[in-house]
Amino acid sequence: MFMLVRETFANVTRTDEHWWKRAHALTLTSDRFDAPTTIDRLTTIVGRSAVIENPADLGAYVSEPRGQYHGRALCMVEPETPEKVAAFLAFCHTHKIGVVPQGGNTGLVGGQTPDASAHQIILSLRRLRAIREIDPSSDALTVEAGVTLRETQEAAASVNRYFPLSLASEGSCTIGGNIATNAGGVHVLAYGMMRDLVLGLEVALADGRLLSTLGKLRKDNTGYDLTRLFIGSEGTLGVITAATLKLYPRPCGHAVAFVGMNDPSQALSLLAFIKERAGPALQAFELIPRLGIDFVTQHIPGARDPLAAPHRWYALVELAGFADRDVDTLAAHIFEEALAQGYVADATLAHSLDQAAALWKLRESLSEAQKREGGSIKHDISIAVNQIPDFIKTAAQRLGEAFPAARPVPFGHMGDGNLHYNVSQPKVGDKQAFLAQRAEINAIVHGLVQEFGGSISAEHGIGVLKRDLLKQVKDPVALDLMRAIKSTLDPAGILNPGKLL
Ligand code: ZN
């Protein structure tokens, strides 16, 4: 089978999609498949306690948090060492068994869910729990894939350093998953995405070898950047077992402000103003429309509007203080001037950690509040920061013409150009009838993203949710190269089959 794929590929100058599907359908159809024998063999490779086959015990792993994808699995394995992960992959490679890597199972695009065949095996990395090294002198931290994001942040804090990746699911999502999906979150504006935070990786390859680029080097010009190739590959090129991450100076304090504005153009001016005044102290700049605040104050217990009067738009702004810079005074000066110059209509600053947490809760509860408001059609898009006001205006016009009662709630990481352009169902109306219009609403939003030269997946990845869309929007030459890389690293097509490509 290996030869078939390689030879077929060698004869194709321009990889066409049908060839791709045929080749991978072939590689994944093994007439030697036998479930009891497979599980027996697996227990000798990873140990009896690392193989879970009872369907009741698998329930939490075969569905994802939004409940859109449900699969079945032959079993789940959870090896205790990277070497066992590699040995397990070698076995699956030989026997052409599909493997679905899984971290904290918090992904939003179905990338971690097995298909319905019950032939695939979930590979959980949750038992790779070691924090191998913390080195504050080199500002580097080496952790295994199953360590959660919060534990990673805490390990950094234990040596007075900072690991800046921050997202709503940080208590349960894992570093391996964060890297495999190139996670983003609220601090991308200041520190970049996960791809910018990794120094090296240990990766189990499909053929059972362990690749290591682990190390604390900031400079290493020795050829192709293999580390970054695996970041964001969604488990389709290899399985990340450990990573060396970058650490940063730990902020000595944060200031959180919540400001009211008339429109996103004002938010753009405010963003530029704060960048000039605060420099690297600006950590997050999140945009929220009034309707989002209405939803949160209505549906989330304890949430209240922090400003005296309603405004059409809001921004949540976070600044950090470093060394002896007093961030509260800095923030007070910045927002006093912003008010005086008309960049904002009103502003409030948190005066305690509890108040700061309450402001962040307004932002972080948006998805949950929108869910309670009824059907919601979600988009995770990015465009150039300066085009955000135009995009929001044009998208509202086009959606308004086609679906006058639908309610757009565009919110998110304006500071880095990433909007969660979610559309809520009409105030009165049937949820299923609204969700049935998903394809047309997606076409309007994603079509406009294309016109603006943006991306249809800013931070959630492709998975199953956007796999077909990717084929329509990605440069065909780029798709050719992606398939060629996939065929080289995973010739039997066992790694997360049916995801991304
Ligand atoms: Zn986000």
| 116 and 159 part of one domain | no
Q: What spacing in Å lies between the alpha carbon of 44 and ligand 1's midpoint?
A: 41
Q: What spacing in Å lies between the alpha carbon of 458 and ligand 1's midpoint?
A: 9
Between 201 and 14, residue with greater pLDDT:
201
Cβ atoms of residues 111 and 461 within 8 Å: yes
Cβ atoms of residues 38 and 97 within 8 Å: yes
The pLDDT value given to residue 35: 84
The rounded percent of the chain whose pLDDT value lies above 90 is 90
Q: For the domain that residue 324 is a member of, what is the CATH number?
A: 3.30.70.2190
Q: Is the dihedral of CA 227, 231, 233, 236 positive or negative?
A: positive
Q: What spacing in Å lies between the alpha carbon of 184 and ligand 1's midpoint?
A: 7
| 142 and 208 part of one domain | yes
Q: What spacing in Å lies between the alpha carbon of 119 and ligand 1's midpoint?
A: 33
The last residue of a domain, from among 365, 394, 425 = 365
Q: What spacing in Å lies between the alpha carbon of 106 and ligand 1's midpoint?
A: 13
Q: What spacing in Å lies between the alpha carbon of 132 and ligand 1's midpoint?
A: 29
| 257 and 245 part of one domain | no
Q: What spacing in Å lies between the alpha carbon of 288 and ligand 1's midpoint?
A: 12
Q: What spacing in Å lies between the alpha carbon of 501 and ligand 1's midpoint?
A: 23
| 91 and 118 part of one domain | yes
The last residue of a domain, from among 127, 160, 186 = 127
Quickly state the pLDDT bin for 12 (edges 50, 70, 90).
very low
| 108 and 153 part of one domain | no
Q: Residues 215, 219, 223, CA angle at the centre, nearest 5°?
A: 90
Residue 491 is assigned to a structural domain of this protein: no
- In tens, the pLDDT along 100-127 reads 999 999 999 999 999 999 999 999 999 9
Q: What spacing in Å lies between the alpha carbon of 187 and ligand 1's midpoint?
A: 10
Arithmetic mean of pLDDT over the chain: 93
Q: What spacing in Å lies between the alpha carbon of 307 and ligand 1's midpoint?
A: 24
The pLDDT value given to residue 372: 95
| 352 and 378 part of one domain | no
Quickly state the pLDDT bin for 65 (edges 50, 70, 90).
confident
Which tokens sit at 205?
Answer: 């390859």
Buried b (16+ CB within 10 A) or exposed e, 76-105: bbbbeebebbbbbbbbbbebbbbbbbbbbb
Residue 170 is assigned to a structural domain of this protein: yes
The pLDDT value given to residue 32: 54
| 318 and 380 part of one domain | no
| 54 and 109 part of one domain | yes
| 193 and 122 part of one domain | no
Check pLDDT > 70 for residue 52: yes
The last residue of a domain, from among 223, 249, 275 = 249
Cβ atoms of residues 378 and 368 within 8 Å: no
Check pLDDT > 50 for residue 2: no
| 353 and 389 part of one domain | no
Residue 148 is assigned to a structural domain of this protein: yes
Q: What's the domain range around 293?
A: 253-365
Q: What spacing in Å lies between the alpha carbon of 205 and ligand 1's midpoint?
A: 30
Instruction: State mean pLDDT over 251-280.
Output: 96
Q: What spacing in Å lies between the alpha carbon of 226 and ligand 1's midpoint?
A: 27
Provide CB contacts within 8 A for 107, sequence distance 6+.
Answer: 64, 177, 181, 460, 461, 463
The pLDDT value given to residue 33: 58
Check pLDDT > 60 for residue 23: no
- Total residue length of the chain: 501
- In tens, the pLDDT along 157-212 reads 999 999 999 998 999 999 999 999 999 999 999 999 999 999 999 999 999 999 99
Q: What spacing in Å lies between the alpha carbon of 475 and ligand 1's midpoint?
A: 25
The pLDDT value given to residue 4: 33
Q: What spacing in Å lies between the alpha carbon of 253 and ligand 1's midpoint?
A: 23
Check pLDDT > 50 for residue 13: no
Q: What spacing in Å lies between the alpha carbon of 156 and ligand 1's midpoint?
A: 23
Cβ atoms of residues 462 and 79 within 8 Å: no
Contacts 24+ apart (CB under 8 A), 27-31: 27/1, 27/96, 27/491, 27/492, 27/493, 27/494, 28/96, 28/98, 28/493, 28/494, 28/497, 29/96, 30/95, 30/96, 30/97
Q: What spacing in Å lies between the alpha carbon of 431 and ligand 1's midpoint?
A: 24
Residue 178 is assigned to a structural domain of this protein: yes
Burial of 124 (0-12, 13-18, 19+ CB in 10 A): buried
Residue 494 is assigned to a structural domain of this protein: no
Q: For the domain that residue 33 is a member of, what is the CATH number?
A: 3.30.43.10
Q: What spacing in Å lies between the alpha carbon of 361 and ligand 1's midpoint?
A: 14
Total number of domains constituting the chain: 4
3 state DSSP class of 70: strand
Residue 453 is assigned to a structural domain of this protein: yes
Residue 231 is assigned to a structural domain of this protein: yes
- In tens, the pLDDT along 72-93 reads 999 999 999 999 999 999 999 9
Q: For the domain that residue 388 is a member of, what is the CATH number?
A: 3.30.70.2740
3 state DSSP class of 316: strand
| 326 and 386 part of one domain | no
Residue 121 is assigned to a structural domain of this protein: yes
DSSP 257-288: EEEEESSHHHHHHHHHHHHHHHGGGEEEEEEE
The pLDDT value given to residue 18: 59
The pLDDT value given to residue 324: 80
Q: What spacing in Å lies between the alpha carbon of 67 and ligand 1's midpoint?
A: 19
Quickly state the pLDDT bin for 21 (edges 50, 70, 90).
low
Q: For the domain that residue 147 is a member of, what is the CATH number?
A: 3.30.465.10
| 137 and 68 part of one domain | no
Chain mean position to CA 51: 28
Q: Which residues pair with 102 in a beta bridge?
A: 124
- In tens, the pLDDT along 213-252 reads 999 999 999 999 999 999 999 999 999 999 999 999 999 9
Q: What spacing in Å lies between the alpha carbon of 359 and ligand 1's midpoint?
A: 16
Q: What spacing in Å lies between the alpha carbon of 459 and ligand 1's midpoint?
A: 7
